[in-house]
Amino acid sequence: MSKLLIRGGRIIDPANNLDRQGSVSVADGNIIAVGDELEAFTPDRIIEAEQQIVCPGFIDLSARLREPGHTRKGNIQSETRAAAAAGVTTLCLPPDTNPVIDTPAVVEYIKDKSEKAGYEQILPIGALTQRLAGNEISSMFALKQAGCIAVGNADLPLTKLQILRRAMEYADSHGLLLIYRPNEPSLSADGCAHDGAFASRYGLPGIPAAAETVAVAQCLELAQLTGCRVHFSRISCKGSVIKLQQAKKYGLNVTADVAIHQLHLTEDDMIPFDSAYHVDPPFRSDSDKQFLRNGLVNGTIDAICSDHQPHDLDAKLGAFPETQAGIAALETLLPLTLRLSREHPISLTQSIAALTEKPAKILGLDKGALTPGLGADICIFAPEQSWLVGHDSWQSAGKNTPFWNKSLQGKVTHTLQAGRTIYQQ
């Protein structure tokens, strides 16, 4: 039985309301003690964690790995390496791979590749509809049996609301969480930027906030009608926060997350024609950003995700509207979350909860905590360490980030997955 002692760090475990100096003891892949060192415990290995924070490994609710099907942008090997360097020990893979995750065979393929990559905690999200075409409900039960943690339609639309209603009823009957990215396609159309001052100034087709809020309102009505448990993915605007706050107030069983970059950047931060800022949903107004931040503080928004979308160089070349949306965001997840705690009245404990305890609850997992008996998924990071985002520090195959060549604060030093070290600085 292998034994590990993480000694002398500041332990922050929101699930157990713990914030203290101490040690974490691990044996045979599980946590066996937190706080004081055990007298009869003789570790095979010791990690000295002075001046560092020890917390549960992060759980990312949305990270594209680009495999199967888009390996020119990245693959399971490269992107799980980035996840490990980011302190992420469990991640959800959206179903818009190629082939789509709509059969057990694709789920098995992903499991096989994740085992070969040495990163076994990839949780596939099954397609809500066959081929993500939006008109025929998938075989959700078979996908659940194969190991899908939830079902969703990624960023693709459904052909009509009746399909969404039937899919909700079907998902609820199988006890499946439905992950929904709210977007009304007839309003967002071919937009590439927020329908605000920036888009007007540079003549870009805009995406109004209403494209999201209309979809949120429709989905909330159907959630109430069907009783389906719904998680809203990557919300971006004030109106969505208000609607979700009201829904939670009246007891609807819904949760939500926000991409970390939406909590920092707005349309005012965009550099004209720089495709690194092309994201979907788009960067919106400062007022939207403040509502997202406040929503995280008051619990309307439950979790933070990376919305990791690595791209190859060609995908980001050309005129801004013609480039593909998305940011390679795994490795900036921690430093931007720490910056949020420094710049906004959200405590460090609350920020870490949004990456650990809260996503575990959304997914119904026994993870996201340093509770004795649980698997030792642990992140150790140096909160004051500065580093430059660049080739020497970057693991993802995608270099598409607006933070490239910028200095960030907060660096993961060790990541443990089920007691096994999968990253060490």
State the catalytic residues: 307
Q: Tokens for 183?
A: 């977007």
Rounded Cα gap, residues 389 and 349, in angstroms: 25
Overall residue count recorded for the chain in this entry: 425
- Distance between CA atoms of residues 411 and 294, nearest Å: 26
**Contacts with 114 (C-beta within 8 Å, 6 or more apart), sequence order:** 76, 80, 120, 121, 122
Q: How far apart are CA 217 and CA 122, in angstroms?
A: 31
β partners of residue 412: 381
- Neighbour-count burial of 214, counting CB atoms closer than 10 A to its CB (0-12 exposed, 13-18 middle, 19+ buried): middle
Q: Which helix (H) or strand (E) holds 383?
A: strand 378-388
* C-alpha–C-alpha distance, residues 184 and 181, integer Å: 10
Question: Which residues are bridge partners to 409 per DSSP?
Answer: 386
Instruction: Return d(Cα 9, Cα 164) in angstroms, integer.
Output: 47
Q: In this structure, are residues 204 and 320 in contact, taking their beta carbons and an 8 Å threshold?
A: yes
Q: What counts of helices (H) and strands (E) characterise the chain?
A: 12, 18
Strands (DSSP E) contained in 112-155 are 122-127, 150-152
Burial group, residue 272, by CB count within 10 angstroms (0-12, 13-18, 19+): exposed
Rounded Cα–Cα distance for residues 226 and 358 (Å): 24
